Homo-oligomer: A and B are copies of this chain.
Amino acid sequence: MSHLAAVMATALLAVSATALGATPLERGRTLAEQGDAARGIVACAGCHRADGGGDEALGAARLAGLAPAYLATQVERFRAGQRSHPVMSPWAERLEPADITAVSAYYGALAPASNARAPSDVDAAAGRALAETGDWPGRDLPACVRCHGPGGVGAGTVFPPLAGQPYSYLLAQLQAWAAGRRHGEPMALMGAVAGRLDADEQRALAAYFATRPLAVADPADDLPDPSPAPATASVSTPATTVAATDAVVPEHLGAVPAGRAEAASRFTPPGRDALPEGPLGEMVRLGAHLFRHTNTDPRSAPHVGNDQTCAGCHLDNGRRADASPMWAAWVAYPAYRGKNQRVDTMAERIQGCFRYSMNAQDSVSGQVPETNGLVLDALQSYIYWLATGAPTGDTAMSGRGYPRLQPPAEGFDRDRGAVLYAEHCALCHGDGGEGLLVDGEVVFPPLWGPRSYNWGAGMHRVDTAAAFIAANMPLLDTVRFTPQEAWDVAAYINGHERPQDPRFDGSVERTAARFHASPFDLYGEPLGVDGAVLGQGTTAH
Protein backbone atom coordinates (compact mmCIF):
# COMPACT_ATOMS: atom_id res chain seq x y z
CA MET A 1 0.00 0.00 0.00
CA SER A 2 1.41 3.35 -0.94
CA HIS A 3 1.78 6.05 1.62
CA LEU A 4 -1.04 8.02 0.07
CA ALA A 5 -3.28 5.00 0.02
CA ALA A 6 -2.55 4.47 3.70
CA VAL A 7 -3.50 8.05 4.44
CA MET A 8 -6.71 7.70 2.58
CA ALA A 9 -7.50 4.46 4.36
CA THR A 10 -7.13 6.07 7.75
CA ALA A 11 -9.16 9.01 6.57
CA LEU A 12 -12.13 6.72 6.25
CA LEU A 13 -11.98 6.19 9.98
CA ALA A 14 -11.06 9.72 10.87
CA VAL A 15 -14.24 10.96 12.39
CA SER A 16 -15.29 8.03 14.54
CA ALA A 17 -12.14 6.20 15.38
CA THR A 18 -9.65 7.15 18.03
CA ALA A 19 -5.92 6.64 17.89
CA LEU A 20 -3.17 7.40 20.38
CA GLY A 21 -5.82 8.27 22.93
CA ALA A 22 -7.34 11.20 20.97
CA THR A 23 -9.80 11.61 18.13
CA PRO A 24 -8.20 12.41 14.78
CA LEU A 25 -9.54 15.92 15.04
CA GLU A 26 -7.94 16.36 18.46
CA ARG A 27 -4.70 14.92 17.20
CA GLY A 28 -4.88 17.20 14.19
CA ARG A 29 -5.54 20.20 16.34
CA THR A 30 -2.56 19.42 18.54
CA LEU A 31 -0.26 19.10 15.57
CA ALA A 32 -1.69 22.24 14.00
CA GLU A 33 -1.45 24.41 17.06
CA GLN A 34 1.58 22.98 18.84
CA GLY A 35 3.43 20.76 16.45
CA ASP A 36 5.43 17.88 17.85
CA ALA A 37 8.80 19.11 19.01
CA ALA A 38 9.97 15.60 19.72
CA ARG A 39 9.63 14.70 16.04
CA GLY A 40 10.80 18.07 14.74
CA ILE A 41 7.34 18.98 13.52
CA VAL A 42 6.63 22.69 13.76
CA ALA A 43 3.11 23.94 14.49
CA CYS A 44 1.19 24.44 11.24
CA ALA A 45 -0.41 27.56 12.74
CA GLY A 46 3.00 29.18 12.92
CA CYS A 47 2.75 29.86 9.22
CA HIS A 48 -0.86 29.05 8.33
CA ARG A 49 -2.17 30.99 11.35
CA ALA A 50 -4.49 29.89 14.10
CA ASP A 51 -7.57 30.40 11.98
CA GLY A 52 -6.05 28.49 9.10
CA GLY A 53 -6.50 31.51 6.89
CA GLY A 54 -2.93 31.55 5.62
CA ASP A 55 -0.33 34.27 5.80
CA GLU A 56 0.19 36.79 3.07
CA ALA A 57 3.70 37.82 4.12
CA LEU A 58 4.92 34.24 4.44
CA GLY A 59 3.20 33.02 1.32
CA ALA A 60 1.47 30.39 3.42
CA ALA A 61 -1.70 28.88 2.02
CA ARG A 62 -5.12 29.14 3.52
CA LEU A 63 -6.06 25.67 4.78
CA ALA A 64 -9.25 26.32 6.71
CA GLY A 65 -12.25 24.69 5.13
CA LEU A 66 -10.37 22.94 2.34
CA ALA A 67 -11.26 19.37 1.48
CA PRO A 68 -9.24 16.99 3.71
CA ALA A 69 -8.53 14.71 0.77
CA TYR A 70 -7.05 17.63 -1.12
CA LEU A 71 -4.91 18.65 1.86
CA ALA A 72 -3.69 15.11 2.42
CA THR A 73 -2.80 14.79 -1.24
CA GLN A 74 -0.71 17.94 -1.05
CA VAL A 75 1.28 16.63 1.89
CA GLU A 76 1.93 13.54 -0.15
CA ARG A 77 3.11 15.70 -3.05
CA PHE A 78 5.66 17.32 -0.77
CA ARG A 79 6.75 13.90 0.35
CA ALA A 80 7.02 12.78 -3.25
CA GLY A 81 9.02 15.84 -4.29
CA GLN A 82 6.29 17.03 -6.67
CA ARG A 83 6.03 20.12 -4.55
CA SER A 84 8.91 21.77 -2.79
CA HIS A 85 9.14 24.21 0.08
CA PRO A 86 11.93 24.84 2.64
CA VAL A 87 9.64 24.18 5.60
CA MET A 88 6.91 21.99 4.17
CA SER A 89 9.13 19.48 2.43
CA PRO A 90 11.09 18.29 5.49
CA TRP A 91 7.98 18.53 7.69
CA ALA A 92 6.00 16.33 5.37
CA GLU A 93 8.75 13.70 5.51
CA ARG A 94 8.32 13.39 9.24
CA LEU A 95 4.59 12.70 9.23
CA GLU A 96 2.91 9.35 9.70
CA PRO A 97 -0.20 8.50 7.65
CA ALA A 98 -2.34 9.05 10.70
CA ASP A 99 -0.79 12.50 11.23
CA ILE A 100 -1.69 13.52 7.70
CA THR A 101 -5.22 12.24 8.06
CA ALA A 102 -5.63 14.04 11.35
CA VAL A 103 -4.26 17.40 10.40
CA SER A 104 -6.12 17.36 7.08
CA ALA A 105 -9.36 16.56 8.85
CA TYR A 106 -8.72 19.29 11.36
CA TYR A 107 -8.15 22.03 8.82
CA GLY A 108 -10.96 20.77 6.66
CA ALA A 109 -13.30 21.11 9.61
CA LEU A 110 -12.33 24.69 10.38
CA ALA A 111 -14.62 27.44 9.21
CA PRO A 112 -13.31 28.91 5.99
CA ALA A 113 -11.05 31.86 6.75
CA SER A 114 -8.70 34.03 4.79
CA ASN A 115 -5.92 36.42 5.63
CA ALA A 116 -5.27 37.21 1.98
CA ARG A 117 -4.94 40.64 0.49
CA ALA A 118 -3.85 41.90 -2.88
CA PRO A 119 -0.82 44.18 -3.13
CA SER A 120 -1.67 47.79 -3.83
CA ASP A 121 0.31 47.87 -7.05
CA VAL A 122 -1.59 45.03 -8.75
CA ASP A 123 -4.99 45.61 -10.28
CA ALA A 124 -7.11 42.73 -9.06
CA ALA A 125 -9.89 43.61 -11.46
CA ALA A 126 -7.53 43.05 -14.35
CA GLY A 127 -7.57 39.35 -13.53
CA ARG A 128 -11.30 39.08 -13.86
CA ALA A 129 -11.44 38.33 -17.56
CA LEU A 130 -9.10 35.36 -17.48
CA ALA A 131 -10.49 34.13 -14.18
CA GLU A 132 -14.14 34.23 -15.16
CA THR A 133 -14.10 33.64 -18.91
CA GLY A 134 -10.55 32.62 -19.76
CA ASP A 135 -9.07 33.00 -23.21
CA TRP A 136 -10.25 29.92 -24.94
CA PRO A 137 -10.17 31.21 -28.51
CA GLY A 138 -6.71 32.68 -28.21
CA ARG A 139 -4.79 30.25 -26.03
CA ASP A 140 -7.03 27.32 -25.22
CA LEU A 141 -7.33 28.67 -21.72
CA PRO A 142 -10.62 27.84 -20.03
CA ALA A 143 -11.73 30.16 -17.27
CA CYS A 144 -10.16 29.33 -13.90
CA VAL A 145 -13.64 29.08 -12.42
CA ARG A 146 -14.54 26.43 -14.98
CA CYS A 147 -12.78 23.85 -12.78
CA HIS A 148 -12.26 25.66 -9.48
CA GLY A 149 -15.96 26.29 -9.04
CA PRO A 150 -18.06 29.43 -9.13
CA GLY A 151 -16.04 32.38 -7.94
CA GLY A 152 -13.08 30.06 -7.41
CA VAL A 153 -14.51 28.64 -4.17
CA GLY A 154 -13.21 25.20 -5.03
CA ALA A 155 -14.89 22.11 -6.40
CA GLY A 156 -14.68 18.66 -4.94
CA THR A 157 -11.47 17.16 -3.68
CA VAL A 158 -9.33 17.83 -6.72
CA PHE A 159 -9.89 21.50 -7.53
CA PRO A 160 -9.04 23.56 -4.45
CA PRO A 161 -10.40 26.98 -3.62
CA LEU A 162 -8.54 29.90 -5.14
CA ALA A 163 -10.79 32.45 -3.46
CA GLY A 164 -9.16 33.90 -0.40
CA GLN A 165 -5.82 32.24 -0.91
CA PRO A 166 -3.00 34.67 -0.21
CA TYR A 167 -1.83 36.52 -3.26
CA SER A 168 1.73 35.56 -2.51
CA TYR A 169 0.82 31.89 -2.34
CA LEU A 170 -1.20 31.89 -5.54
CA LEU A 171 1.47 33.73 -7.46
CA ALA A 172 4.20 31.42 -6.21
CA GLN A 173 2.21 28.39 -7.31
CA LEU A 174 1.56 29.77 -10.79
CA GLN A 175 5.25 30.53 -11.13
CA ALA A 176 6.22 27.11 -9.86
CA TRP A 177 3.90 25.38 -12.31
CA ALA A 178 5.04 27.47 -15.20
CA ALA A 179 8.66 26.72 -14.35
CA GLY A 180 8.04 23.01 -13.83
CA ARG A 181 8.92 23.18 -10.14
CA ARG A 182 5.48 21.96 -9.10
CA HIS A 183 3.85 19.02 -10.75
CA GLY A 184 2.00 15.83 -10.15
CA GLU A 185 -1.46 17.27 -10.72
CA PRO A 186 -3.82 15.19 -12.87
CA MET A 187 -3.22 15.38 -16.59
CA ALA A 188 -0.62 18.11 -16.14
CA LEU A 189 -3.45 20.61 -16.11
CA MET A 190 -1.95 23.42 -14.11
CA GLY A 191 1.42 23.25 -15.78
CA ALA A 192 -0.29 23.86 -19.08
CA VAL A 193 -2.45 26.64 -17.72
CA ALA A 194 0.31 28.52 -15.93
CA GLY A 195 2.62 28.20 -18.88
CA ARG A 196 0.18 30.10 -21.07
CA LEU A 197 0.03 33.13 -18.79
CA ASP A 198 2.45 35.98 -18.86
CA ALA A 199 3.87 37.44 -15.67
CA ASP A 200 1.37 40.30 -15.50
CA GLU A 201 -1.51 37.91 -15.94
CA GLN A 202 -0.19 35.64 -13.21
CA ARG A 203 -0.07 38.59 -10.82
CA ALA A 204 -3.50 39.86 -11.83
CA LEU A 205 -5.08 36.44 -11.40
CA ALA A 206 -3.46 35.93 -8.02
CA ALA A 207 -4.71 39.32 -6.88
CA TYR A 208 -8.20 38.67 -8.25
CA PHE A 209 -8.71 35.40 -6.45
CA ALA A 210 -7.04 36.62 -3.25
CA THR A 211 -9.85 39.13 -2.93
CA ARG A 212 -12.82 36.93 -3.83
CA PRO A 213 -15.39 35.86 -1.21
CA LEU A 214 -14.90 32.39 0.24
CA ALA A 215 -18.41 31.19 -0.44
CA VAL A 216 -20.46 31.29 -3.62
CA ALA A 217 -21.78 34.82 -3.92
CA ASP A 218 -24.28 36.17 -6.38
CA PRO A 219 -22.38 35.93 -9.60
CA ALA A 220 -21.67 39.39 -10.96
CA ASP A 221 -22.64 38.39 -14.45
CA ASP A 222 -21.67 35.92 -17.07
CA LEU A 223 -20.78 38.09 -19.96
CA PRO A 224 -17.60 37.29 -21.73
CA ASP A 225 -14.92 39.81 -21.07
CA PRO A 226 -13.10 41.34 -23.95
CA SER A 227 -10.47 38.75 -24.60
CA PRO A 228 -6.81 39.78 -24.58
CA ALA A 229 -6.83 39.40 -28.34
CA PRO A 230 -9.15 41.91 -30.06
CA ALA A 231 -12.66 40.68 -29.47
CA THR A 232 -14.77 42.89 -31.63
CA ALA A 233 -17.62 42.00 -33.89
CA SER A 234 -15.42 40.67 -36.61
CA VAL A 235 -13.28 37.82 -37.64
CA SER A 236 -10.50 37.65 -35.14
CA THR A 237 -6.89 38.38 -35.84
CA PRO A 238 -4.45 35.51 -35.53
CA ALA A 239 -3.87 34.40 -31.97
CA THR A 240 -1.30 36.47 -30.17
CA THR A 241 1.88 34.71 -29.27
CA VAL A 242 2.07 33.92 -25.60
CA ALA A 243 4.38 36.44 -24.04
CA ALA A 244 7.61 34.99 -22.76
CA THR A 245 8.05 34.94 -19.02
CA ASP A 246 11.17 34.76 -16.96
CA ALA A 247 10.15 31.28 -16.01
CA VAL A 248 11.29 28.30 -17.99
CA VAL A 249 8.21 26.95 -19.71
CA PRO A 250 8.35 23.23 -20.38
CA GLU A 251 7.97 22.98 -24.11
CA HIS A 252 5.32 20.29 -24.04
CA LEU A 253 3.09 22.27 -21.74
CA GLY A 254 3.23 25.86 -22.76
CA ALA A 255 2.61 25.90 -26.46
CA VAL A 256 -0.62 26.95 -28.09
CA PRO A 257 -1.97 23.82 -29.77
CA ALA A 258 -1.33 23.81 -33.48
CA GLY A 259 -4.88 22.96 -34.47
CA ARG A 260 -6.26 25.95 -32.68
CA ALA A 261 -3.70 28.32 -34.10
CA GLU A 262 -4.76 27.26 -37.57
CA ALA A 263 -8.34 28.11 -36.73
CA ALA A 264 -7.46 31.62 -35.58
CA SER A 265 -9.26 33.22 -38.51
CA ARG A 266 -12.56 32.16 -37.00
CA PHE A 267 -15.40 34.42 -36.05
CA THR A 268 -14.99 36.14 -32.70
CA PRO A 269 -18.10 37.01 -30.73
CA PRO A 270 -18.22 40.41 -29.05
CA GLY A 271 -16.97 41.05 -25.55
CA ARG A 272 -18.43 42.88 -22.60
CA ASP A 273 -17.24 46.19 -24.03
CA ALA A 274 -19.70 45.80 -26.91
CA LEU A 275 -22.77 45.26 -24.74
CA PRO A 276 -25.68 47.36 -26.00
CA GLU A 277 -27.01 49.95 -23.60
CA GLY A 278 -30.45 49.95 -22.06
CA PRO A 279 -33.01 47.17 -21.81
CA LEU A 280 -31.55 45.10 -24.62
CA GLY A 281 -28.22 45.08 -22.84
CA GLU A 282 -29.99 43.94 -19.69
CA MET A 283 -31.66 41.13 -21.61
CA VAL A 284 -28.33 40.05 -23.07
CA ARG A 285 -26.86 40.06 -19.59
CA LEU A 286 -29.77 38.03 -18.25
CA GLY A 287 -29.47 35.59 -21.12
CA ALA A 288 -25.78 35.12 -20.43
CA HIS A 289 -26.64 34.44 -16.82
CA LEU A 290 -29.38 31.95 -17.62
CA PHE A 291 -27.10 30.24 -20.09
CA ARG A 292 -24.70 29.34 -17.30
CA HIS A 293 -27.09 29.06 -14.36
CA THR A 294 -29.99 27.43 -16.15
CA ASN A 295 -30.60 24.92 -13.38
CA THR A 296 -30.40 27.35 -10.46
CA ASP A 297 -31.81 30.67 -11.59
CA PRO A 298 -35.39 30.89 -10.32
CA ARG A 299 -36.63 31.93 -13.75
CA SER A 300 -35.24 29.00 -15.71
CA ALA A 301 -34.84 26.34 -13.00
CA PRO A 302 -38.55 25.37 -13.02
CA HIS A 303 -37.97 24.06 -16.54
CA VAL A 304 -34.82 22.07 -15.82
CA GLY A 305 -35.34 18.52 -14.63
CA ASN A 306 -31.71 17.55 -14.13
CA ASP A 307 -28.32 19.07 -13.36
CA GLN A 308 -27.60 20.51 -16.77
CA THR A 309 -27.09 24.00 -18.10
CA CYS A 310 -26.72 25.46 -21.55
CA ALA A 311 -23.06 26.15 -20.85
CA GLY A 312 -22.43 22.52 -19.93
CA CYS A 313 -22.35 21.52 -23.59
CA HIS A 314 -21.94 24.91 -25.28
CA LEU A 315 -18.54 25.63 -23.81
CA ASP A 316 -17.19 29.04 -22.94
CA ASN A 317 -20.79 30.11 -22.33
CA GLY A 318 -21.71 29.49 -25.94
CA ARG A 319 -18.66 31.08 -27.50
CA ARG A 320 -16.42 28.09 -28.12
CA ALA A 321 -15.87 27.08 -31.74
CA ASP A 322 -16.29 23.33 -32.33
CA ALA A 323 -18.47 23.11 -29.22
CA SER A 324 -21.73 24.16 -30.87
CA PRO A 325 -21.11 27.89 -30.53
CA MET A 326 -24.27 29.91 -30.38
CA TRP A 327 -23.08 32.54 -32.84
CA ALA A 328 -22.97 29.93 -35.58
CA ALA A 329 -26.36 28.58 -34.58
CA TRP A 330 -28.09 31.96 -34.58
CA VAL A 331 -27.40 32.68 -38.22
CA ALA A 332 -28.47 29.17 -39.25
CA TYR A 333 -32.04 29.29 -37.92
CA PRO A 334 -34.85 28.83 -38.86
CA ALA A 335 -33.72 25.43 -40.13
CA TYR A 336 -35.24 22.11 -40.98
CA ARG A 337 -34.45 19.41 -38.46
CA GLY A 338 -34.89 15.78 -39.26
CA LYS A 339 -35.43 15.07 -35.58
CA ASN A 340 -38.62 17.14 -35.52
CA GLN A 341 -39.36 16.82 -39.21
CA ARG A 342 -40.20 20.50 -39.33
CA VAL A 343 -38.55 23.87 -39.71
CA ASP A 344 -37.62 25.12 -36.26
CA THR A 345 -37.03 28.69 -35.25
CA MET A 346 -34.31 29.43 -32.72
CA ALA A 347 -36.97 29.64 -30.00
CA GLU A 348 -38.17 26.16 -30.88
CA ARG A 349 -34.64 24.86 -31.07
CA ILE A 350 -33.93 26.13 -27.56
CA GLN A 351 -37.13 24.55 -26.33
CA GLY A 352 -35.76 21.32 -27.73
CA CYS A 353 -32.70 21.73 -25.50
CA PHE A 354 -34.95 22.12 -22.48
CA ARG A 355 -37.07 19.17 -23.47
CA TYR A 356 -34.21 16.76 -23.99
CA SER A 357 -30.86 17.94 -22.72
CA MET A 358 -32.39 19.59 -19.66
CA ASN A 359 -35.11 16.96 -19.27
CA ALA A 360 -37.98 19.36 -18.64
CA GLN A 361 -40.37 16.45 -18.06
CA ASP A 362 -38.87 15.94 -14.60
CA SER A 363 -38.73 19.65 -13.79
CA VAL A 364 -40.92 21.50 -11.31
CA SER A 365 -43.11 22.82 -14.09
CA GLY A 366 -42.85 19.75 -16.27
CA GLN A 367 -42.73 22.09 -19.25
CA VAL A 368 -40.26 23.85 -21.47
CA PRO A 369 -40.17 27.65 -21.09
CA GLU A 370 -42.93 29.36 -23.04
CA THR A 371 -41.96 30.95 -26.27
CA ASN A 372 -42.75 34.56 -25.51
CA GLY A 373 -41.56 34.39 -21.95
CA LEU A 374 -38.60 36.01 -20.32
CA VAL A 375 -36.35 32.96 -20.31
CA LEU A 376 -36.49 32.28 -24.02
CA ASP A 377 -36.42 35.95 -24.95
CA ALA A 378 -33.35 36.53 -22.78
CA LEU A 379 -31.57 33.49 -24.15
CA GLN A 380 -32.35 34.58 -27.68
CA SER A 381 -31.13 38.09 -26.94
CA TYR A 382 -27.84 36.71 -25.65
CA ILE A 383 -27.39 34.36 -28.57
CA TYR A 384 -28.27 37.11 -31.04
CA TRP A 385 -25.71 39.35 -29.44
CA LEU A 386 -23.04 36.66 -29.55
CA ALA A 387 -23.58 36.53 -33.31
CA THR A 388 -23.00 40.24 -33.80
CA GLY A 389 -21.55 40.67 -37.26
CA ALA A 390 -22.06 37.08 -38.35
CA PRO A 391 -23.63 36.78 -41.79
CA THR A 392 -27.29 35.79 -41.68
CA GLY A 393 -27.93 32.46 -43.31
CA ASP A 394 -24.34 31.24 -43.23
CA THR A 395 -24.89 27.61 -42.34
CA ALA A 396 -21.25 26.71 -42.75
CA MET A 397 -19.41 29.00 -40.39
CA SER A 398 -16.05 27.60 -39.39
CA GLY A 399 -16.44 26.07 -35.94
CA ARG A 400 -20.18 25.40 -36.12
CA GLY A 401 -21.35 22.35 -34.17
CA TYR A 402 -18.46 20.01 -33.75
CA PRO A 403 -16.40 18.33 -36.43
CA ARG A 404 -18.05 15.05 -37.36
CA LEU A 405 -16.04 11.90 -37.02
CA GLN A 406 -15.77 9.13 -39.54
CA PRO A 407 -17.58 5.99 -38.43
CA PRO A 408 -15.11 3.93 -36.40
CA ALA A 409 -13.38 1.27 -38.44
CA GLU A 410 -13.20 -1.02 -35.40
CA GLY A 411 -16.66 -0.18 -34.09
CA PHE A 412 -16.74 1.05 -30.54
CA ASP A 413 -16.16 -0.77 -27.31
CA ARG A 414 -17.64 0.16 -23.98
CA ASP A 415 -15.01 -1.77 -22.04
CA ARG A 416 -12.16 0.07 -23.68
CA GLY A 417 -14.15 3.23 -23.02
CA ALA A 418 -14.48 2.38 -19.34
CA VAL A 419 -10.72 2.32 -18.96
CA LEU A 420 -10.32 5.65 -20.70
CA TYR A 421 -13.15 7.15 -18.69
CA ALA A 422 -11.58 6.15 -15.40
CA GLU A 423 -8.27 7.59 -16.44
CA HIS A 424 -9.33 10.88 -18.01
CA CYS A 425 -12.98 11.67 -17.30
CA ALA A 426 -13.82 10.50 -13.82
CA LEU A 427 -11.61 13.18 -12.29
CA CYS A 428 -14.27 15.77 -13.15
CA HIS A 429 -17.42 13.85 -14.02
CA GLY A 430 -17.12 11.30 -11.22
CA ASP A 431 -16.66 7.54 -11.14
CA GLY A 432 -20.41 7.12 -11.42
CA GLY A 433 -20.90 9.78 -14.06
CA GLU A 434 -22.59 11.91 -11.44
CA GLY A 435 -20.79 15.15 -12.26
CA LEU A 436 -19.92 17.77 -9.68
CA LEU A 437 -22.04 20.58 -8.32
CA VAL A 438 -21.08 23.35 -5.90
CA ASP A 439 -24.00 24.93 -4.07
CA GLY A 440 -26.24 23.67 -6.84
CA GLU A 441 -24.12 25.24 -9.55
CA VAL A 442 -22.96 22.78 -12.17
CA VAL A 443 -19.19 22.63 -12.37
CA PHE A 444 -19.00 19.35 -14.26
CA PRO A 445 -22.29 18.04 -15.64
CA PRO A 446 -23.52 14.53 -14.89
CA LEU A 447 -23.05 12.24 -17.87
CA TRP A 448 -25.53 9.57 -16.97
CA GLY A 449 -28.07 8.75 -14.30
CA PRO A 450 -31.18 10.68 -13.30
CA ARG A 451 -29.51 14.10 -13.33
CA SER A 452 -28.10 13.79 -16.84
CA TYR A 453 -29.50 14.50 -20.30
CA ASN A 454 -32.29 12.19 -21.30
CA TRP A 455 -32.60 9.50 -23.95
CA GLY A 456 -33.95 12.05 -26.42
CA ALA A 457 -31.05 14.49 -26.23
CA GLY A 458 -28.66 14.67 -29.13
CA MET A 459 -25.78 13.95 -26.80
CA HIS A 460 -27.12 10.48 -25.97
CA ARG A 461 -26.11 9.37 -29.45
CA VAL A 462 -22.69 7.80 -29.55
CA ASP A 463 -21.68 9.60 -32.74
CA THR A 464 -22.69 12.99 -31.40
CA ALA A 465 -20.96 12.47 -28.08
CA ALA A 466 -17.87 11.06 -29.76
CA ALA A 467 -17.59 14.10 -31.99
CA PHE A 468 -18.02 16.43 -29.04
CA ILE A 469 -15.45 14.53 -27.01
CA ALA A 470 -12.90 14.33 -29.79
CA ALA A 471 -13.02 18.08 -30.25
CA ASN A 472 -13.40 19.22 -26.68
CA MET A 473 -12.60 16.68 -23.99
CA PRO A 474 -10.83 16.66 -21.61
CA LEU A 475 -11.46 20.32 -21.14
CA LEU A 476 -7.84 21.27 -21.33
CA ASP A 477 -5.85 19.99 -24.24
CA THR A 478 -3.05 18.28 -22.34
CA VAL A 479 -4.78 15.04 -23.22
CA ARG A 480 -6.57 14.46 -26.50
CA PHE A 481 -8.35 11.31 -27.46
CA THR A 482 -7.83 9.69 -30.80
CA PRO A 483 -11.05 9.36 -32.78
CA GLN A 484 -11.24 5.70 -31.84
CA GLU A 485 -10.79 6.53 -28.17
CA ALA A 486 -13.51 9.18 -28.43
CA TRP A 487 -15.88 6.58 -29.90
CA ASP A 488 -15.07 4.15 -27.12
CA VAL A 489 -15.46 6.57 -24.25
CA ALA A 490 -18.66 7.97 -25.75
CA ALA A 491 -20.05 4.45 -25.98
CA TYR A 492 -19.14 3.83 -22.37
CA ILE A 493 -20.83 7.04 -21.20
CA ASN A 494 -23.95 6.56 -23.27
CA GLY A 495 -24.17 2.90 -22.40
CA HIS A 496 -25.71 3.86 -19.04
CA GLU A 497 -29.26 4.58 -18.04
CA ARG A 498 -30.56 8.11 -18.05
CA PRO A 499 -33.99 9.80 -17.95
CA GLN A 500 -36.52 8.36 -20.37
CA ASP A 501 -37.02 9.78 -23.85
CA PRO A 502 -39.98 12.19 -23.60
CA ARG A 503 -41.31 10.61 -26.79
CA PHE A 504 -41.49 7.23 -25.03
CA ASP A 505 -44.79 5.55 -25.83
CA GLY A 506 -44.70 2.83 -23.19
CA SER A 507 -42.56 0.41 -25.14
CA VAL A 508 -38.80 0.58 -25.38
CA GLU A 509 -38.93 -1.56 -28.47
CA ARG A 510 -41.36 0.69 -30.29
CA THR A 511 -39.65 3.87 -29.15
CA ALA A 512 -36.32 2.46 -30.23
CA ALA A 513 -37.65 1.60 -33.66
CA ARG A 514 -39.29 4.94 -34.08
CA PHE A 515 -36.67 7.31 -32.80
CA HIS A 516 -33.45 5.44 -32.28
CA ALA A 517 -32.86 3.41 -35.40
CA SER A 518 -29.17 4.10 -35.77
CA PRO A 519 -26.07 2.02 -35.25
CA PHE A 520 -24.82 4.88 -33.08
CA ASP A 521 -27.77 4.86 -30.73
CA LEU A 522 -27.72 2.50 -27.74
CA TYR A 523 -31.33 3.03 -26.73
CA GLY A 524 -32.95 -0.39 -26.74
CA GLU A 525 -29.61 -2.16 -27.02
CA PRO A 526 -28.60 -4.89 -24.59
CA LEU A 527 -27.00 -3.48 -21.49
CA GLY A 528 -25.04 -6.58 -20.60
CA VAL A 529 -25.26 -10.34 -20.41
CA ASP A 530 -28.34 -10.52 -18.20
CA GLY A 531 -30.83 -9.58 -20.86
CA ALA A 532 -31.37 -6.07 -19.60
CA VAL A 533 -31.92 -3.49 -22.27
CA LEU A 534 -30.98 0.19 -22.21
CA GLY A 535 -33.82 2.65 -22.39
CA GLN A 536 -35.68 1.88 -19.16
CA GLY A 537 -35.16 5.46 -18.05
CA THR A 538 -34.40 6.49 -14.52
CA THR A 539 -36.83 6.86 -11.70
CA ALA A 540 -37.58 10.23 -10.20
CA HIS A 541 -35.03 11.54 -7.78
Contact = CB atoms under 8 A, between A and B. Distances in A.
A392 B381 contact: no
B380 A345 contact: yes
A330 B334 CA distance: 12
A333 interface: yes
Nearest to A283: B343
A137 to B, nearest CB: 18
Contacts of A198: none
Interface in A349-399: 351, 371-372, 376-378, 380-381, 384-385, 387-394
Contacts of A393: 233, 384-385, 387-389
Q: Which residue, A327, A330, A392, has most C-beta atoms of chain B within 10 A?
A: A392
Given A333-B384, A334-B381, A280 B343 contact: yes
Question: How many copies of this protein are present in the complex?
Answer: 2
A392 B330 contact: yes
A335 interface: yes
Contact of A280 (B335, B381, B391): B335
A342 interface: yes
Contact of A279 (B342, B377, B388, B389): B342
Nearest to A390: B392
A344 B280 CA distance: 9
Contacts of A233: 391, 393
A249 B384 CA distance: 49
A278 interface: yes
Contacts of A389: 391-394
A372 B350 CA distance: 12
Interface in A326-347: 327, 330-331, 333-336, 341-345, 347
A348 interface: yes
A17 to B, nearest CB: 60
B391 A390 contact: yes
Contacts of A388: 391-393
A284 to B, nearest CB: 9
Contact of A392 (B331, B336, B348, B377): B331
A179 to B, nearest CB: 44
A485 to B, nearest CB: 35
Interface string A161-192: 00000000000000000000000000000000
Q: Which residue, A278, A391, A393, has most C-beta atoms of chain B within 10 A?
A: A393
A279 B336 contact: yes
Given A388-B392, A392-B388, A380 B342 contact: no
B381 A343 contact: yes
A376 B343 CA distance: 11
Contacts of A345: 347, 372, 376-377, 380
Contacts of A343: 279-280, 283, 377-378, 381
Contact of A336 (B280, B333, B371, B387): B280
A83 B477 CA distance: 82
A280 B333 CA distance: 10
Contacts of A387: 392-393
A371 B333 CA distance: 15
Nearest to A334: B381
A400 to B, nearest CB: 14
Contacts of A372: 345, 347-348, 351, 371
Contact of A334 (B278, B280, B371): B280
Contact of A283 (B279, B331, B334, B378): B334
A534 to B, nearest CB: 31
Contacts of A378: 343
A21 to B, nearest CB: 67
Nearest to A348: B372
Interface in A42-80: none
A393 to B, nearest CB: 4
A372 B393 CA distance: 20
Given A384-B392, A390-B391, 11 more contacts: A233-B393, A279-B342, A330-B392, A334-B381, A334-B384, A342-B377, A343-B378, A343-B381, A351-B372, A371-B371, A387-B393
5 contacts: A280-B335, A327-B392, A347-B372, A351-B372, A392-B392
- Sort A-B residue pairs by CB-CB distance and give the 6 closest, nearest first: A388-B393, A371-B371, A279-B336, A387-B392, A283-B343, A334-B381
